[in-house]
Structures are given as C-alpha cells and as structure tokens.
Chains A and B, each alone.
Chain A
Amino acid sequence: MAHPRFTGGRFLGTGIGLRVPHYDHILAEKPAVGWFEIISENYMVRGGRPLAVLDAILDQYEVVQHGVGLYPGGSGGLDMDHLRRLKELIKRTKTPWISDHLCWGSVDGRMSHDLLPLPYTFEAARKTAENLRIAQDFLEIPLAMENVSSYAEFNDDEMTEWQFLAEVTEAADVGILLDVNNIYVSSVNHGFDPLEYVDFIPPDRVAQIHIAGHSRYQRFIIDTHDHPVIDPVWRLYARAIERCGPTATLLEWDSSIPSFEEVWSEAKKSEDWRRWLVEQKGVGHVEA
C-alpha cells in the first residue's frame, strides 16, 4: 500500500479521465464514478467555461489533478509562473495529490508540448529530484511522478528506466504514478522485460496506477490512449497491485473516445482484478 503521505491519506478506487465527449452525460446523469482525473493545464485559466464545468463537476465528484506541463526534468529548472497557476487550481479542486510526468519539454521558454524522455543519468536524476523538491515544497501537496512512454533511449544512459524512477522519487521523496501501459509500450520499443520493471518499483510510493490502450505499428508502439486495455497490460496491472496492494486506478482514453458507458466499463475491469487479488492471494481488502 502507498504510504499515506503520498496520497494525502485518501484511498480512491476506480476513476476515469474527465473528457469533453462525456461532459453532457456526466452533468445530466451524474453517473456513479469513483473519481475523475483532470488535465490541470486545461483548467489553468482565469475564467470562462472551463472553470464553470470544473465547478459543476466538483459539486458532485472527487477530482485528482494530472499535469502535462511541469517538466521536472528540465535542465533550466521549473517555471514558477506555472507552479503559481497550478497552486491556484489546487485550491479550487482540493485534489488529494497531484501528478505529472517524469520528463522534460522546454528549452529557454520554448515549449514542445510533448513529454520528452530523460537520459537515465545520475546528473539528470539529481537535477530532476531537485526540481521536484522545489515543486512539492511550493505546492504543499503530495506529488506523484508518472513514468512516460518512450520511443528513444540515450547514449548517455547510466541506468535502466526503473532504476532512474526509483532513484528520482527516493531523492525527491515524492510518490509514483505507475502507468503500466507506458511500461508495456516502452518495453516493446526498447526490448526489456516489463515484469522486471514492475518488480523493481518501491510499492509504498505508488499513489496511483494508470491503465490505457495504445496503437501498434509494424516496428514500434505509440501510446495513443485510443483503444481498450490489452491483456498483457492487464497482467502487468495484476502484478503491480499484487506488489502495491489496492491502489487508486485510472483509465486514460484520450482519442477516438467511445461512449461514457464503454469507457467506464473498461475502467471497472480493474475492480475485477483487485477482487481476484483479494480472493486468490489475500492481498488488500474488498472495496465498498
């Protein structure tokens, strides 16, 4: 189980990403969803409809913020304006923790709008951990780092990705958002054993798990979040919760988004795995 300091003491079950095609259904039908994850940057605005929708959702649901623009691996440090906007939003959502990606994405204030891979070096680990400590201190909320899907490795690499993730989160004392789909995607693209990755992760830091689908091409996989979760990713999920215990689990579906019911029923499959874990392995507890 994640240490409560990484989850703000909250245990959340199954959630899905809050996405535009589902707004009408959610606002009208108020379906029984455990929680929603929002992309922070979509709501870091001064007013207008994004905040009006968010407020309507917050009236009914617990929301967890997930960011795409912190870029903690940036050699130039953090963007303090970004952190200030993030903190404003945190006040509004009362999110129990926030997550972002273990990546970088900008140089001299010019943005890639992508989650770019870091070299797995001790220098990068030190710089990223330093940035994360600053961010967590400033935001005054538990911070969890997500492993990204990657399509490239560097000549400079001095360790594996899972060693790097553990090194950074330990040095910064932040939580982990373990994306088992990303592990699978990177394992195919780079040719490593995804179980070795999952088995290395410090379980008490895993605040949340992401599951998702992806697109397979002839020679590589792209993490497109536009398909159901495939069986090998469910098996990684099972291994992850076997090690980490029942963990807040969120399905990401960002493109070619089907009906709310379809997305929610895919997300709820994670509950079957958690139930199986309790019945077969006696790990964790049955959720209400």
Chain B
Amino acid sequence: MSRLEQLQREFFKALLLPLRGSSRKSTELTPSDEGHAPEFFRIADEIIKPGPELSAAERLELYHRQYWFRILDSLAEDFPVLRRMAGDERFWELIEAYLLERPSQSFTLRHLGEAFADHIEAAPCLDDSRRRWFGGIARIEYAFMKCFECAQSALPEAVDLGDSEIELQEHVQLLRLSYPVDLCWGWQDFTPAEGIEPEIIHIAVWREPSGRSRQERLEAGEVRLLSRLRDGIRLDVLFDELPEPTPSEDDITRWFAKWQGYRWLGVCGKEGAQELDRGIGWEGMDRMSSQAVSMTD
C-alpha cells in the first residue's frame, strides 16, 4: 500500500467515527477529548501537523464535523414525513445509525437515502410494526427523490399506440408496502397508526409535468399491467396476454385513460422533454455545492 493510500484510509477512517458528545452543537472547538475514540487522537497525531492555533486533533475535528453535518442535514431534508412520524430524537438516531453503517456511495447527496428503508426495516431499536411503517414511509420518500431526476421518454401520439413499443416512464416508481403508510402524509404524528392492521398496498410515485412529485394508490390488477409495461411492450401484446385474474374491459379502459392523463406512458427509445414550470418552487435542485459547512449553533 502506498503512503498516500495509507494516509487517505486513515483520514477517512477518522471521518467515519461518530460525532462526539457536544460537537454537533458547539461552534468553538475545545481541546476536550469528550466522546472521541482513542483511535481519533491516534490518527490525528500520526498524520496531521498541529497548526498555529489548533492542535492536530482539532484540525481533524473540523473535517470530521463537516462530514457529519453535511450528510446528516442532507439526509434529514429528504425524509420530512418519516421525521414527523418518528419524532426528532428517534429520527436523528436512525439516520446517524444508518450513515455509520452505510456511508454514501454516490457522487451526489441526493442518493444518500438509497438504502435507508432497508436499514429501518432491520433496525433493532424499533418494534416490528414501526419497522414496517417507517420503512414504507422511507421507500415512498426516497421514490420522490428518484423520480425527480429520471429521464423522460416522449409521450405517445395516437399512431405510436398502434405501432410502437410503449413503456412506463422511468420516473413512475411502483411500490408494494405492507401497511397503509400513505395515510401518514395526512397525520401530524404517529398516534393514529395504533390499531391499524397490516394491509398490502400498491403505490405509484411519479413526476408531474410541472416537475412536482406525487403519490397515489394503485389497484392490484393495474400493477400487474404496469409492471409488464416497465420494460416496453406493444399494446396489442400487452392486452392479448392479460394476467390472471383477468381484469374487466371497463377496468382496463379506466386505467389506461388514467395512465395517459398522468403521462405515465412513453415511447420506447424516443427521448422526451421536461416542461419547466416556474410556479412550484425549486426545492431539491441544488444539493451539491463547493462551500464548507459552517459551525452553526
């Protein structure tokens, strides 16, 4: 292993150590070793040169805090409903535990939450019901992020419906959940969930033409057809080989009209354009920036 690699591995190992006791709230660094593992001080002394004002550990701590502040705040921003349902204390515990177990694996902070639902569904600090409720909420909230940046294929013209392979737009996410977690969007806290029994629901999350994300429940028969549309298929083939139990003609007509109305269908291999609606705000647009994270109170 080269000296450069060795140094970078040591530095990174220090970044991934948990935040120490009061460091999340303190603006000024103290020479205290409160909460830090001896490993942190060993790495600092070994690789970092003390500065005119700060010790080696204090210098390393600046990077350590910036790492944690940035990823914690970024992840928290993506899961507002989960935060409301879990309550602040449990929510921060969950995201810190998740990020300790699974550091970011993407170039963008938008993808930080990609395995958060899996983590929640195995979290030992939650009971079984909360694992499934909170995991379901996280799946929907991450689907919002996913559909935000997906490609868009061209909307089918009448002629395409007969001649072309039609696909489900990439931004339409289909989710199967074991509790009616979509109800949480209308709740102020988790209290109403007490006594609600498990129930398989299907949810579609998609991007509207304006760019805003939406969710809606689906019927089971509808999901079977939408799943077959995922990889692209000619409509005559789709409707000639209907899945069991066979949906009625009325159902198919109603579903198809809805899919078209919501712009869920696209023409395979034909790129479409995203409309730009300036009236809905710009939330989620600028996630990455080149500035450091300040030491705020």
CA A23 – CA B54 in complex, angstroms? Answer: 40
B4–A152 CB distance below 8 A: no
- Find out whether the CB atom of B286 lies under 8 angstroms from the CB atom of A220: no
Which residue of B has the minimal Cβ distance to A110?
Answer: B103
Chain A nearest Cβ from B168, distance in angstroms: 14
A56, A111, A215, A224: which contacts B276 (Cβ < 8 A)? Answer: A56
Q: Which of these, A44, A46, A119, A218, contacts B108 with CB under 8 Å?
A: A44
State whether the Cβ of B38 lies closer than 8 Å to any Cβ in chain A: no
Q: Is A74 part of the contact surface with B, judged by Cβ < 8 Å?
A: yes
* Residues in chain A near residue B246, CB distance under 8 A: none
Against A, the Cβ 8 Å flags (1 = close, 0 = not) of B47-83 are 1110111101001101100110011001000000000
Asked if A189 contacts B51 (CB within 8 A), the reply is yes
Tell whether, in the assembled complex, residue B8 and residue A113 are in contact, meaning their CB atoms are under 8 Å apart. no
The 8 A CB mask of B278-296 against A (1 = contact, 0 = none) is 1000100111111111110
* Overall SS of chain B's interface: loop
**Cross-chain contact of A123 among B3, B149, B290 (Cβ < 8 A):** B3
Known interface pairs A75-B8, A107-B8; A48-B152 also in contact (CB < 8 Å): yes
Q: Is B253 close to A, CB under 8 A?
A: no
Residues of chain B lying within 8 A (CB to CB) of residue A50: 149, 285
| A101 interface contact, C-beta 8 A | yes
Is the Cβ of A45 less than 8 Å from the Cβ of B149?
A: yes
Interface residues of B in 210-225 (CB under 8 A from A): 211
B91, CB-defined interface residue at 8 Å: no
B279 CB to closest chain A CB (Å) equals: 9
Give the docked Cα–Cα distance between A110 and B112 (Å): 11
Interface size on A, residues (CB 8 A): 71
Give min CB distance, A258 to chain B, whole Å.
Answer: 15
Residues of A within 8 A of B287 (CB): 41-42
- Give bound CA distance, A56 to B285, whole Å: 15
CA–CA, A16 and B68, complex, Å: 28
B12 to chain A, nearest CB (A): 4
Q: In the bound complex, do residue A116 and residue B11 qualify as a contact, i.e. CB atoms below 8 Å apart?
A: yes
B95 → chain A, closest Cβ, in Å?
A: 15
Residue of chain A at shortest CB distance from B274:
A52
Is A46 a contact partner of B71 (Cβ separation < 8 A)?
no
How many angstroms from the CA of A56 to the CA of B66 in the assembled complex? Answer: 33
Sample of 9 further A-B pairs with CB below 8 A, known A20-B286, A113-B67, A220-B29:
A42-B288, A45-B149, A52-B274, A53-B276, A66-B290, A151-B63, A152-B51, A220-B62, A254-B289
Q: Which 5 A-B pairs have the closest CB atoms?
A: A45-B149, A75-B5, A46-B151, A225-B291, A47-B151
